[in-house]
Every structure is written in C-alpha cells, then in structure tokens.
C-alpha cells in the first residue's frame, strides 16, 4: 500500500503514520523527521535547514527532494510506504509523481486529516511544553499554518483532481482516528 498522508501542522500525520507502520508493515517516511535527524547530526544539510525549520518556513525543494530520493532507494520502500510531510507544494507533487512513475510505485491513497485550527494550536503548545521542538513556539506555529494554507492546500486539490483524495476527521482520540484510517484502507 502506498499512501500520502496530508494535513496541517499538528494534525496527527506522524502519530497516525507510526501506528499504520506498526499495523501494516509500511515504511514511514517523514521528511520533517529526516530533516531533524540531519540537524541533530550537524551535517551540512542540517546546518542549512536548521534556522529555516525553526522559523516554520519550507526548506528548499531541491534539498528535500535529494533527501527523499536517497530514502526511497532503501529496500523497505518496495513493501509499501506512508509519506508524511511530503509533498508540501505543487512542485513537490510533480517531482514525487515523476520519481514514483520511474520506480513504478505510484501513490494509491492520498488521505487528508481534517483538524480544527484551535485543536492544532493546543496540541502544538502542549508539545512545546513537553518536548521543546524548535518550531512549536507561537510565532512559528502561526507561520507554519500560513505556509500550509498558501502552499500545501493546493496539494490537497491536486490529489482530488487525480481522483486519489480521501478525507478523514482528525479530531477525537488517537485510537479512534487510527480505526477510521484502517476502515478507509479496508484493513479494520
Ligand atoms: P514536519 O515535521 O512535517 O511538521 P508539520 O507538518 O508542521 O507537522 P507536525 O510534525 O508538527 O505534526 P503532525 O501532523 O505530524 O502531527 P503529530 O502526529 O506530530 O515539518 C517540519 C518542518 O520541516 C517544516 O516546517 C519545514 O521547515 C520542514 N519540512 C518538512 N517537510 C518538508 C518538505 N516536504 N518541504 C520543505 N520543507 C519541509 O501530532 C502533533 C502533536 O499532537 C503531538 O504532540 C501529538 O502527540 C499530538 N496528537 C496527535 N494526535 C492527537 C490526537 N488525536 N489528540 C490529541 N493530541 C494528538
Ligand atoms: Mg510530523
């Protein structure tokens, strides 16, 4: 199964992808996690991305695509994958389609998690208190939501036009949302 998980910052993409990975044995590919690993390791790429991420801006398409191509070359991807946090703009949609066409592994499901903006602000404020992620401060959260509206909302439309979009309410408990996703995927 090849899934693109879409949704605003804090909508639960990472949480739900982790559960789907455990349940369905899919590779979970989060470009945010890959970038944070580069920042933590202090690589050249991480140094370039660090401040951009902390502000809540998008890292350049070329950097993210290079990193994604390397990850998609790993063996576990052939069993199926969940992409979390990619694509985030229309250029990334096109780059992804081209890559997956070359690999003969096209996206089958694009699933949008719908969450109220007030819940997003609460969830990310809670995580800021617990984990201190550099982009969970109020200014960066506001900016991430703006970037999402301006650049990532067209991605949802892109998959709708391709006939691949399904929407799932992302409010409720983590387990309720997980069950909704399994039902949608015919795996409940
Ligand atoms: P990324 O890491 O992708 O962050 P994001 O999209 O802003 O989303 P989050 O990871 O904050 O939220 P999520 O939807 O995964 O929700 P989660 O499960 O964590 O990107 C970070 C940055 O990296 C970007 O701003 C950009 O700079 C860069 N980047 C990444 N990809 C890029 C790309 N393709 N191109 C360019 N730049 C890129 O949940 C959030 C919180 O809520 C958690 O604390 C969780 O425990 C809690 N929670 C989850 N579900 C529930 C629930 N049902 N009820 C209550 N709490 C819940
Ligand atoms: Mg995430």
Q: Report the residue count for the chain.
A: 188
Closest CA to 147 of 67, 36, 55: 55
Q: Which atom of ligand 1 is nearest to the CA of 84?
A: 3
Predicted local distance difference test score (pLDDT) of residue 85: 98
The mean pLDDT of 130-147, rounded to a whole number, is: 96
Out of 2, 13, 21, 180, which one is annotated catalytic?
13
- Ligand 2 centroid to Cα of residue 36, in Å, is 11
Q: Which residues pair with 118 in a beta bridge?
A: none
Q: Is there a catalytic annotation at residue 144? A: yes
Q: Is there a catalytic annotation at residue 123? A: no
The mean pLDDT of 127-139, rounded to a whole number, is: 96
- Ligand 1 centroid to Cα of residue 13, in Å, is 6
User: What is the CA angle 58-62-64, rounded to 5?
Assistant: 55
Write down the mean pLDDT value for the chain. 97
Predicted local distance difference test score (pLDDT) of residue 102: 97
The secondary element (H helix, E strand) that includes residue 142 is helix 138-147
Percent of the chain with pLDDT over 70: 100
Confidence of residue 176 (pLDDT cuts 50, 70, 90): very high
- Burial of 64 from C-beta contacts in 10 A (0-12 / 13-18 / 19+): buried
């Amino acid at each position: 199964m090849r899934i693109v998980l879409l949704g605003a910052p804090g909508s639960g993409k990472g949480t739900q992808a982790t559960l789907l990975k455990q349940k369905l044995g899919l590779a979970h590919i989060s470009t945010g996690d890959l970038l944070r690993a580069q920042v933590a390791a202090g690589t050249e790429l991480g140094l370039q991305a660090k401040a951009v991420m902390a502000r809540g801006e998008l890292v350049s398409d070329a950097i993210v695509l290079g990193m994604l191509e390397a990850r998609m070359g790993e063996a576990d991807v052939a069993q199926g994958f969940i992409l979390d946090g990619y694509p985030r703009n229309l250029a990334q949609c096109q780059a992804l389609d081209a890559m997956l066409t070359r690999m003969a592994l096209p996206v089958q499901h694009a699933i949008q998690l719908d969450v109220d903006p007030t819940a997003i602000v609460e969830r990310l404020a809670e995580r800021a208190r617990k984990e201190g992620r550099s982009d969970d401060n109020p200014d960066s959260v506001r900016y991430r939501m703006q970037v999402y509206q301006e650049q990532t909302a067209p991605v949802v439309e892109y998959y709708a036009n391709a006939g691949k979009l399904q929407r799932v309410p992302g409010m409720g408990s983590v387990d309720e949302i997980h069950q909704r996703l399994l039902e949608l995927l015919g795996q409940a």
